[in-house]
Structure 1
Amino acid sequence: MPPQQGEGQGCADSEVDVPSSRLFTWEEIRLRNGQEDPSRERWLAIDRKVYDITRFHKRHPGGSRVICGYAGQDATDPFIAFHIDKTLVKKHMKQLMIGELAPDQPSFEPSKNKLLVEDFRELRSTVEKMGLLKPNPLYFLVILLHILLLDAAGWFVLWYFGTSVTTFIIATTLLLISQSQSGWLQHDLGHLSVFSHPKYNHLVHEFVMCHLKGLSANWWSLHHSQHHAKPNCFQKDPDLEMHPRVFSLGKPLSEELGRQKKKYMPYNHQHKYFFITMPLIVVPWFKMFSIYFVFQRKLWRELAWSVTYFIRIFITFVPLLGVNVVLGQLFLLIILESILFTWISQLNHIPMHIDYDGNMDWFSTQLLATCNVNQSFFNDWVTGHLNFQIEHHLFPTMPRHNFWKVAPLVKSFCAKHGIEYKSKPLFSGFADII
């Protein structure tokens, strides 16, 4: 599961081998999912080994919910997808192992397409051999420098040309682009795709997320890991839980609410008020829960970094604009970024399949929940290369500069297995949200 707080953290350092003489069936594993009764045992399988995560899941570095999402299931492919140093993590996992699958049990869950799973693991191996999972830190340094340049330009316009409505609009636009691009860069860092060592990703992630954006890096990592583990799955993808009383995403939930006659949910009219409500609340919601998370977890270093964000803004802009105007500008930036972020991030997911967890294989889970936006220099830049959402979800630790290289391989894979590979123009994606 995603080790977003650092590979190996939260596990005991014991290297004692755990006996694996106990043999289990898939049916026994499936019953230990913790869904009917949270106090029951939670098991999962990785590479035919069976692990008891009943006590460990609360200490899981990637968050409890993300690993519990695979309780009762085969977690081999998500484990491979999210962990950079698998050898280190497996060493810590020894104490959790309680046995393995019986010899008469298949390596894959009976409900899954064996050929598809095997072919995808072969594709994953090919990707690794091609070096497509190796980052180029120089590329990301250029991304960071262009963000800092945009941020400085926003201040320079007001300082050099004076404060007027025109310069205020130009400065705010530059700052908005800087904030948006910072969001995509922190996303790269949160996925451990900028540096080869997780530690450096975490350190720079705090700088970008906390100092450049005033948000919690740890909160984002835990939240976003759950989304990637089970995208577009009710009760497992937190992106579907932000607005249960305002929006109903996906046909199954809408029909379910309709049968329950939930009068407070005007889901049949949501396309009329989406434009006014949804884009305006996302980033403010992030800010609110980020602050709550920092104090709840006592992340004082993140708090200090976040405070420097506001100190920097006030020192540079208050002498030019005054306190009231700066506060208004900050509020305006939050709202504008929320609109921009919502439309760009959701066009890859909201129009796609949304349902309860069907325990499908990794490849099918990601392809049903994601789609791409056609490649162009502008689309790549404005979306932080998340127009390659399919490739990003299949290989979450892959650095963004390699998405275009792996895309032809994924297309061929889809064609071989008769799976639709969806890619559309940017504005068609916006229309599909509606």
Structure 2
Amino acid sequence: MSTCEFAQAQENRNDPSHKVIIIDDKIYDVTEFHREHPGGAKVLLTHIGKDASDVFHAMHPESAYEILANYYLGDLGEADSLTKAKTSDKKAFAEDIRQLRDKLTDLGYFRSNRLYYLYKFISTLSICMASLLILYLYGQQSTTAIIISAFLLGLFWQQCGWLSHDFGHHQVFDNRPLNDIAVIFLGNFCQGFSLSWWKSKHNTHHASTNVDGHDPDISTGPVLMWHEYASANYYGNLAHSTNNNCDAHCCNATSTSAANNKNGFREGFNRFLAENVFPYQTRYYFFVIALARMSWAIQSANHVAKVGALNKSSSLRLYEMGCLAAHWALFLAVTTRWIDSLQNMILFVVLSQSFTGYMLAMVFALNHNGMPVITKEQAESMEFFEIQVVTSRNVKMGWLGTWFMGGLNYQIDHHVFPTLPRHHLATVQPMIEAICNKHQVIYHTTSFLQGTLEALNALDITQKVSRKLVMKYF
């Protein structure tokens, strides 16, 4: 491929006929491969025409080079200064992080302690067993027991999520399919979340953390909008859609009355939400996050049913769907068989789902919400590791807090080295922070309470923007 051809490919990154990436100064054509990418197509599409070296090394084993070789086009020559033109005063910072990664690899930090994960596996499942035992023994006698069982089940699902996360990042086994089998058991069957849905979403999040338009974890509108870009995009699109529909209704004499009524109702409902709900999101935030688990479960099932498995395997798709169906069948069975009344059944379902929603969402909100959101243009001029650090937040916690958060209180360090086993994060954290201080890269650490207030402040800033946009557009 000539320099001119590659330059054209980089300038026209949305051209579906030509997709190339750079890894270690080598050019690869992933036009066909991106659909079969084991980590999902979206994560590759966020780096078309870019140097993806650091994100590749952060999330792939050495064996991935064998797959890459099939798509090799040529070396990036001196004349091809496309990625090298992305100058940054943080190149030395990125190089120090790479050297630390190599050092930690040599010292064995990327190898897991299997006894630790055996303990995590057994202790996590024990929470579920305790919940079900209480429900079995006292579910027809005591409402208090039902509440305790619901809380423990919610805690199990939360802790199961963190353990699935570890396996999903291939932190435990060198054999990646073994990690995926563990995720299907812990995620699909135990927790009700699909492996394919999670990987597609979470891998993209790691590749383009807090990048507007790329990171799915900050695209939670219109329920919650975490940054000004989301609010501006939502209200701008709503105003544009409303105006276009109005013009169509006025000009199209053949439109039926039913269609007009349906469109008019939708526009009226969306406008009501835009004017009276979204500008006050801090008021309903703590009510909404109770629904987080159910929302993710629905998204997960919908993904498997409509999109299918990551590797396009029909057998994996059926297996995932079977595990999800078994999860909900078992949950409904113990609810209806071990609880005495319909009222208490509803209580158990609502509380177990809500407890999980709170325990998951309150941790997730601390990870990145309220931290800088980066435009695609800004991301072009930043090093991968720099983006991971400045968009993430660490939380000071003792051993109990670290257990509760599943090690995600070391969010910065996890994003720098996603495949580093959880039990090594505390040891590596000071090393990463020292490099950040050396190169004046902001390494943000705070308390659980202060981090929550920072996330709420981000919601407040965005809702104020929404109020201004209501005045502008409506």
TM range (shorter): 0.7 to 0.9
Equivalent in the alignment of 2:56 = 79
Please give the residue correspondences for 1:23-102 in structure 2 after superposition, counting only pairs within 5 Å. Answer: 27-28=7-8, 30-34=10-14, 38-84=15-61, 86=62, 88-102=63-77
Deviation (angstroms), 1:208? 0.5
Is residue 240 of structure 2 the alignment partner of residue 240 of structure 1?
no
In the comparison of the two structures, how many residue pairs are matched?
Answer: 407
Indicate the SS of the match to 1:194: coil
Indicate the SS of the match to 2:203: helix
Equivalent in the alignment of 2:428 = 406
Describe the superposition over 1:82-111 as per-residue Cα deviations: whole angstroms up to 9, x where unpaired. 002x2x321222221212211255674433
TM-score by length of 1: 0.87
In the alignment, is the contact (CA less than 8 A) between 1:108 and 1:114 conserved in 2? no
In the alignment, is the contact (CA less than 8 A) between 1:251 and 1:354 conserved in 2? no
Indicate the SS of the match to 2:191: coil
Specify whether residues 135 and 25 from structure 1 end up closer, same or farther in structure 2 by C-alpha distance, changes over 3 A only: farther
Equivalent in the alignment of 1:295 = 305
CA distance in 2, matches of 1:135, 1:122: 20
Deviation (angstroms), 1:317? 4.6
Q: 1:269 aligns with which of 261, 280, 289?
A: 280
Is residue 104 of structure 2 the alignment partner of residue 124 of structure 1?
no
Describe the superposition over 1:176-201 as per-residue Cα deviations: whole angstroms up to 9, x where unpaired. 11111111111111111121210110
| Deviation larger for 351-360 or 205-214 | 351-360
In the alignment, is the contact (CA less than 8 A) between 1:29 and 1:44 conserved in 2? no
Specify whether residues 213 and 323 from structure 1 end up closer, same or farther in structure 2 by C-alpha distance, changes over 3 A only: farther
In the alignment, is the contact (CA less than 8 A) between 2:155 and 2:359 conserved in 1? no
Is residue 437 of structure 2 the alignment partner of residue 415 of structure 1?
yes
Specify whether residues 346 and 51 from structure 1 end up closer, same or farther in structure 2 by C-alpha distance, changes over 3 A only: same
CA distance in 2, matches of 1:318, 1:255: 46
Using CA pairs below 8 Å that are at least 6 residues apart, which structure has the higher relative contact order? 2
- What code does the residue aligned with 1:392 have? H
Q: 2:158 aligns with which of 155, 165, 180?
A: 180
Equivalent in the alignment of 2:258 = none
Please tell me the root mean square deviation across aligned C-alpha atoms, in Å: 2.4
| Deviation larger for 315-324 or 334-343 | 315-324
Indicate the SS of the match to 1:235: coil
Equivalent in the alignment of 2:123 = 146
Equivalent in the alignment of 2:328 = 310
Specify whether residues 376 and 25 from structure 1 end up closer, same or farther in structure 2 by C-alpha distance, changes over 3 A only: farther
Deviation (angstroms), 1:281? 3.6
CA distance in 2, matches of 1:239, 1:368: 16
Equivalent in the alignment of 2:311 = none
Indicate the SS of the match to 1:127: helix
In the alignment, is the contact (CA less than 8 A) between 2:3 and 2:80 conserved in 1? no
Specify whether residues 223 and 431 from structure 1 end up closer, same or farther in structure 2 by C-alpha distance, changes over 3 A only: same
In the alignment, is the contact (CA less than 8 A) between 1:190 and 1:202 conserved in 2? yes
CA distance in 1, matches of 2:23, 2:110: 21
Please give the residue correspondences for 1:135-214 in structure 2 after superposition, counting only pairs within 5 Å. Answer: 135-161=112-138, 163-214=141-192
Specify whether residues 380 and 52 from structure 1 end up closer, same or farther in structure 2 by C-alpha distance, changes over 3 A only: same
CA distance in 1, matches of 2:400, 2:394: 14
Is residue 365 of structure 2 the alignment partner of residue 389 of structure 1?
no
- What code does the residue aligned with 2:348 have? Q
Larger radius of gyration: 2
Equivalent in the alignment of 2:447 = 425
- What code does the residue aligned with 1:131 have? G
Describe the superposition over 1:271-327 as per-residue Cα deviations: whole angstroms up to 9, x where unpaired. 2232223x1342222111211222222511112222332343345453321584445
CA distance in 2, matches of 1:51, 1:63: 17
CA distance in 2, matches of 1:196, 1:247: 38
Deviation (angstroms), 1:352? 0.2
CA distance in 1, matches of 2:298, 2:150: 22
Specify whether residues 165 and 232 from structure 1 end up closer, same or farther in structure 2 by C-alpha distance, changes over 3 A only: same
Specify whether residues 276 and 375 from structure 1 end up closer, same or farther in structure 2 by C-alpha distance, changes over 3 A only: closer
CA distance in 2, matches of 1:26, 1:213: 45
- What code does the residue aligned with 2:444 have? K
Specify whether residues 316 and 260 from structure 1 end up closer, same or farther in structure 2 by C-alpha distance, changes over 3 A only: closer
- Point out the structure with the larger helix share: 2
In the alignment, is the contact (CA less than 8 A) between 1:29 and 1:73 conserved in 2? no
> Could you tell me the percent identity over the aligned residues?
26
Indicate the SS of the match to 2:197: helix
In the alignment, is the contact (CA less than 8 A) between 1:373 and 1:379 conserved in 2? no
Indicate the SS of the match to 1:388: helix
Deviation (angstroms), 1:136? 1.4
CA distance in 2, matches of 1:409, 1:29: 38
CA distance in 1, matches of 2:100, 2:6: 26
Deviation (angstroms), 1:337? 1.1
Indicate the SS of the match to 1:350: coil
In the alignment, is the contact (CA less than 8 A) between 1:32 and 1:43 conserved in 2? no
Deviation (angstroms), 1:395? 0.7
Equivalent in the alignment of 1:285 = 295
TM-score by length of 2: 0.80
